[in-house]
């Protein structure tokens, strides 16, 4: 990843050309020339209901073609609301039959993290491209298995990193790439919100809960994307101010990262604190974002007076459109499985540091 804007623009240009000649050979031979790819959402919780399904009403290259849910009442509601054909509605048992459904081009896994591996692998085996929500999985081993399954079955795997499709985030990635203010020296990256729930999967270890995977990857991505580097060591500290709720997983994680260039980052994430900002200090200037990873309104400023304040109608719509375009045209995904794995590699090191109380090399 770490796509340059000019790369992005040229890919968009290719994609537009592909759309003009929608029967041409640029389109994958596996798929008939479709105007839009059919997406099946797996798991109909808050994110599917309130973010992805509405976004799929705005997409130009994707549409809501089907659903996979373990709750029959949800199936009924969604069927009516989105006018879905009965044949495109699956449960977790008959899900594998999706292989025979030409309406479904992409399976979007929006389940708790512990279930990602199973459903990504099953989707890949069914010959469907896969979108998978973040965090990619609870372990590096899971991520590697998911990447391998998609490779083996010749399908694409995109991680739902909506922010990397947000031009406001791409702007600060570009600043690092161009070294506009010289080398990055220090990053502070914080992402958290007060979660009042007491019995959600986010508080459940077996389901892949804990703030590190959920909000922590935003704090981590702030540091990774602002430096354009992968961390080589981490020291981390987990804590909880509500032990009656956070029995199994951490409410707050703080971690210090070291990067190959010598850049350092301090990251904070919490289910108990409303915070969302990024500060980057370079050799010759600074950049700030606040919010840095919101669903909308991400914006920032730089020491030379440059403002970052792009407006987009929907991050999730842009993400799905761009990922579908990459599938249709056969170009690189902005955030493929390997990008999700990069984060989980650091997340594993963070938990190891918490366990040992020591710095962990990555």
Catalog residues that contact its own copies under the rule CB under 8 A.
185-186, 188, 190, 192, 194, 235, 237, 239, 241, 252, 254, 256, 258, 262, 264, 266, 268, 270, 272-275, 277, 279, 281, 283, 286, 357-359
The residue (of 168 and 252) whose beta carbon lies closer to its own copies is 252
Shortest distance, position 1 Cβ to its own copies, whole Å: 26
Q: Which residues pair with 289 in a beta bridge?
A: 278, 300
Shortest distance, position 324 Cβ to its own copies, whole Å: 37
State the Cα–Cα distance between residues 105 and 22, nearest whole angstrom.
16
Which of the following is catalytic: 61, 134, 288, 318?
A: 134
State the Cα–Cα distance between residues 9 and 89, nearest whole angstrom.
36
Shortest distance, position 226 Cβ to its own copies, whole Å: 14
The residue (of 130 and 265) whose beta carbon lies closer to its own copies is 265
Residues, the chain, total?
362
Shortest distance, position 300 Cβ to its own copies, whole Å: 14
- The encoded tokens of residue 109 equal 């896994």
State the Cα–Cα distance between residues 174 and 195, nearest whole angstrom.
33
The residue (of 89 and 249) whose beta carbon lies closer to its own copies is 249
Which of the following is catalytic: 90, 172, 218, 246?
A: 218
State the Cα–Cα distance between residues 170 and 165, nearest whole angstrom.
7
Shortest distance, position 132 Cβ to its own copies, whole Å: 30
Q: What is the DSSP string of 138-202?
A: SSHHHHHHHHHHHHHTT--EEE--GGGGSHHHHHHHHHHHHTBTBSEEEEEEEEEEE---SSSGG
Q: Please, what's the largest Cα pairwise distance for the chain?
A: 59
Q: Please say if 156 is a catalytic residue.
A: no
State the Cα–Cα distance between residues 116 and 124, nearest whole angstrom.
12
The residue (of 90 and 172) whose beta carbon lies closer to its own copies is 172
Measured over the CA atoms of residue 37, residue 55, residue 86 and residue 132, the dihedral's sign is positive
Q: Please say if 46 is a catalytic residue.
A: no
The residue (of 145 and 186) whose beta carbon lies closer to its own copies is 186
Residues designated as active site: 134, 218
């Amino acid at each position: 990843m770490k796509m340059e804007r000019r790369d992005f623009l040229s890919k968009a240009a290719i994609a537009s050309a592909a759309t003009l000649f929608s029967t041409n050979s640029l389109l994958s031979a596996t798929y008939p020339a479709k105007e839009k790819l059919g997406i099946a959402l797996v798991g109909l919780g808050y994110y599917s209901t309130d973010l992805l399904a509405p976004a799929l009403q705005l997409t130009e290259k994707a549409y809501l073609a089907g659903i996979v849910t373990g709750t029959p009442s949800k199936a009924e509601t969604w069927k009516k609301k989105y006018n879905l054909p009965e044949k495109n509605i699956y449960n977790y048992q008959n899900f594998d039959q999706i292989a025979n459904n030409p309406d479904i081009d992409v399976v979007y896994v929006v389940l708790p993290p512990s279930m990602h591996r199973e459903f990504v692998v099953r989707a890949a085996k069914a010959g469907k491209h896969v979108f998978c929500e973040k965090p990619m999985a609870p372990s590096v081993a899971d991520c590697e298995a998911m990447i391998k399954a998609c490779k083996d079955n010749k399908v694409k795997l995109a991680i739902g990193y909506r922010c990397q499709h947000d031009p406001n985030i791409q702007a600060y990635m570009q600043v690092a790439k161009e070294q506009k203010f010289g080398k990055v020296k220090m990053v502070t990256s914080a992402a958290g919100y007060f979660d009042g729930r007491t019995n959600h999967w986010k508080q459940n270890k077996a389901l892949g809960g804990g703030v590190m995977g959920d909000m922590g990857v935003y704090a981590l991505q702030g540091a990774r994307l602002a430096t354009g580097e992968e961390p080589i060591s981490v020291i981390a500290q987990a804590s909880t101010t509500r032990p009656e709720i956070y029995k199994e997983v951490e409410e707050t994680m703080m971690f210090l990262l070291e990067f190959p260039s010598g850049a350092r980052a301090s990251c904070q994430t919490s289910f108990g604190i409303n915070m969302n900002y990024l500060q980057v200090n370079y050799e010759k200037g600074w950049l700030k974002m606040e919010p840095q990873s919101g669903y909308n309104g991400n914006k920032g400023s730089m020491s030379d007076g440059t403002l970052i304040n792009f407006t987009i109608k929907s991050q999730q719509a842009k993400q799905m459109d761009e990922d579908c375009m990459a599938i249709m045209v056969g170009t690189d995904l902005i955030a493929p499985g390997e990008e999700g794995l990069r984060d989980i590699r650091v997340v594993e090191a963070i938990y190891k540091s918490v366990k040992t109380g020591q710095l962990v090399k990555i």
